[in-house]
Every structure is written in C-alpha cells, then in structure tokens.
Amino acid sequence: MPYVMVPVPEEHVVDVMKLVTKLVTRASRVPWDQDAVDQTFLEADEGSRSLLSLVSRTTLAGKEVSAMEAMHSLELKMHDLAAILGPIDEATREANRLPLIEMQVGERDGPAGRKRAVRNVVMDREVAEMVRVAERKAREIEPHPLDRDVG
C-alpha cells in the first residue's frame, strides 16, 4: 500500500494525527440503514427520542439548531443535554455506525451584528429522514399514554 509523507509544522503534529485518526475511524464505520435507526429509536429513552426528533425536523427544514436552542426547546439544562448525547453516542459506537448526531461549531450573527461561535447539533439529511420514519413506526407500535386502557 503506497503512502504519502506530508511535512507538518512541529506545533501542529498532534492536531494532524488526531484528524487522521478521526478520518480513519470514520471511514471504518458503517452508514445507517432504516432497520438500525428503527431499532435504535425504539430502544432510546424519551429524552434521546426528543432530541433525535428535534434535530431531524430542523435538518429536514434546512435549518440548524444550536445546542442552546435544543436545550430550551426540550426544557433541559446543559448537563441534561450531555446526559442524552452520551447514550446516543454509545449506541452509535456499539453498532460501529457513523454518528447519528454530531456537534459542529458554526457562526451566527449576535445581537450587535457581530459573528459569534455557536455549537450546532447536526444530523445527515438521510439519517433525518430515517428518524422521521422511525418516529411514525414508534407511534404505531406504542400507543399514546393517554390512549391506554386503565382497566
């Protein structure tokens, strides 16, 4: 297998090695299919489902949602968001799949018109479509709590 040597300034060697490791790891992961998304969604707790649904809706609408906006929409605190992302990331690693949800740094205009960095919660469009299908399947399988017989 051929290889390439690329000169890297000494102060950037660690960063470049991290990037190479990330790219190799990502390349070895399997993309999501509908059955895997369905299973992951059905096994997820309510908080994870809510976050997946929120991010899929915004992705399909062609918008971005920041971590702060996601927290406010789901009425969470920052540590709650981290607690939800943990099991989603764990399920992704266990299945050796590409990430369902990722955090990416983006820019937004602040109140004074200046650009400010924000952390956006993002999802691939194909995965977002699969999550929406999984939501519909979950509604068919699991009745709404208020519709259940109490008897």
pLDDT digits (tens, 9 = 90+) for 29-57: 788 999 999 999 999 988 999 999 999 99
Rounded Cα distance, 131 and 136, in Å: 9
Read off the pLDDT of residues 76-130 as tens digits, 9 standing for 90 and up. Answer: 888 888 889 888 888 888 888 888 999 888 888 878 888 888 899 999 999 999 9
Closest to 25 in 3D by CA, of 97, 112, 111, 106: 97
The reported pLDDT for the residue numbered 148 is 58
Note the pLDDT tens digit of each residue in 123-150.
999 999 999 999 999 988 887 666 655 5
Q: Which tokens sit at 151?
A: 């008897």
pLDDT averaged over every residue in the chain = 86
Contact 138, 53 (CB under 8 A): no
Residue by residue, DSSP assigns 94-120 as: HTTB--SSEEEEEEEE-TTS-EEEEEE
User: Which CATH architecture is the domain 31-141 placed in?
Assistant: Orthogonal Bundle (1.10)
Enter the tokens of residue 50.
Answer: 């809510």
